[in-house]
Amino acid sequence: MNTVGGYVQNEIAGMGEAELEIRALINTASALNSVKENWDTKEKDALNKALDKNRRLWSILASAMQEDDCPQPLEIKQNIINLANFVFKRTTEIIAKPEPQKLEILITINMNIARGLSGKA
């Protein structure tokens, strides 16, 4: 393992669950934003990778809300599951008819959830 890889692994190991979720949401929003901002020069593969990354993240979040030991209140669980369903639907719409402005809502959702988790409303 190289030095940078070891540093990253140690940094991640020291993070709490909320910090990891915040980082994942921001990282995914950044990937989507990069595609949106560079729409004319990005390859189609970059769009597919960013959408897949976001879909996988939201699959994990929605699955966590359905776990028996999930500590979130029922209303929060349902809201996250509803957001995940919206993300999946929007992803399908973007794949069917790609347009850069359609990415904006996915970016906004991720950033707003990250802000909420960090306590920066």
The separation between the first and the last C-alpha atoms of the chain, rounded to the nearest angstrom, is 38
Question: What is the architecture of the domain spanning 17-118?
Answer: Up-down Bundle (1.20)
Can you give the residue ranges of every domain in the chain?
17-118
**pTM of the complete model:** 0.83
pLDDT at 17 over 80: no
Give the pLDDT confidence score for residue 111 in this predicted structure.
97
Residue 70: phi and psi, rounded to 5, are -65, 125
CB-based contact 100:41 (threshold 8 Å): no
Tens digit of each residue's pLDDT (9 = 90 or more) over 55-108: 999 999 999 999 988 888 999 999 999 999 999 999 999 999 999 999 999 999
Average pLDDT over residues 33-48: 90
**Angle, CA 42 vertex, CA 85 and CA 29 arms, to 5°:** 40
- Higher confidence at residue 39 or residue 9? 39
Percent of the chain clearing pLDDT 90 (strictly above): 69
